[in-house]
Amino acid sequence: MKKTMKWSAALAAVLVVGVIGGSLASESKDCPFAKQGASQGGGGDAPAHHAKPRRRAPLAWLFGKCFDRRQLVDGYRSVALPVKEYQLLNVRPGDFVDVLATFDANMADKRKEKMTATILQNVKVLGVVKSGDLEGRGAVHLMLNPNEAQYAALARYQGEIDIALRPEGDFALKPMEMASFRKLFAK
């Protein structure tokens, strides 16, 4: 019985040390492009395309992904948007998504109403960062033109951002009206 308790305590200690040690970001492990940059005379282990975080969630080493900035097309920008982790379950680099913004709109009768608008359609995903916690937050790197980047930043500060994954081959842009519960239940 005492041997079992000692082994259990030792295993628990190893797991705790592994989680704490694993929570420190390691660019060479987290970013596949860090090794590539260092091997091409980059000089350091931190790639130029993103800042090196100091601490990460315990499972971030498993889920966190960065992207190769060579994917950016001339005239476009990479914009990282925070989204709820569960929205990123099936999203992968190379997918196309729509970006929806939910915000409080001031109505004519001086009251506020929640509204959702599709602000961007058919946007390419460059990278996805997941924390491993479905109730937490992740981030999605999107390729946007400068005007779209401004609207994405504005939406981030005005309300909540959601993404909708598009099926492969669906590149059509469609006119979309803003959604509200009042419109949904109106006669």
Tokens, residue 103: 């915000």
CA-based nearest residue to 129, from 29, 19, 21, 31: 31
| Same domain, yes or no: 51 and 71 | no
Q: By C-alpha distance, which of 118, 124, 138, 121 is closest to 57?
A: 138
Instruction: Decide: 140 and 88 in contact? Cβ < 8 Å.
Output: yes
Estimate to the nearest angstrom the gap between the alpha carbon of 137 and the chain centroid.
8
In degrees and rounded to multiples of 5, residue 37 shows phi and psi of: -65, -40
The last residue of one of the domains, among 31, 62, 93, is: 62
Both 17 and 50 in one domain: the answer is yes
Same domain for 118 and 101: yes
Would you say 25 and 50 are in contact if contact means Cβ atoms under 8 Å apart?
A: no
Relative to beta strand 160-165, strand 137-144 is unpaired
Retrieve residue 165's tokens: 């994954």
Q: Which of 31-35, 53-57, 86-90, 182-186 has the highest mean pLDDT?
A: 86-90
The pTM for the full model equals: 0.64
149 and 180 assigned to the same domain: yes
Query: Does residue 53 have a pLDDT over 60?
Result: no
Q: Looking at the structure, do residues 91 and 40 belong to the same domain, yes or no?
A: no
* Greater model confidence, 103 or 63: 103
Through-space distance between the first and last CA atoms of the chain, rounded to whole angstroms: 71
156 in the same domain as 90: yes
pLDDT for 162: 94
Same-domain status, 149 and 178 = yes
**Helix/strand/coil for 98:** strand
Range of the domain at 48: 1-62
> How confident is the model over 102-115, as a mean pLDDT?
88
Give the rounded distance of the alpha carbon of 186 from its chain centre.
Answer: 35
Q: Are residues 83 and 146 in the same domain?
A: yes
14/102 same-domain check: no
> For the chain, how many structural domains are there in total?
2
State how far the Cα of 105 lies from the Cα of 145, in Å rounded to an integer.
26
Question: Cβ distance 136 to 58 under 8 Å?
Answer: no
Whether residue 47 is found in the same domain as residue 109: no
Residue where one domain finishes, among candidates 62, 80, 96: 62
Pair 112, 180 in one domain: yes
Out of 45, 62, 79, pick the residue that ends a domain. 62
171 and 94 in a common domain: yes
Distant-in-sequence, close-in-space partners of 148: CB < 8 Å, separation ≥ 6: 79, 120, 123
Q: How far apart are CA 22 and CA 69, in angstroms?
A: 26
What is the pLDDT of the chain when averaged over all its residues? 74
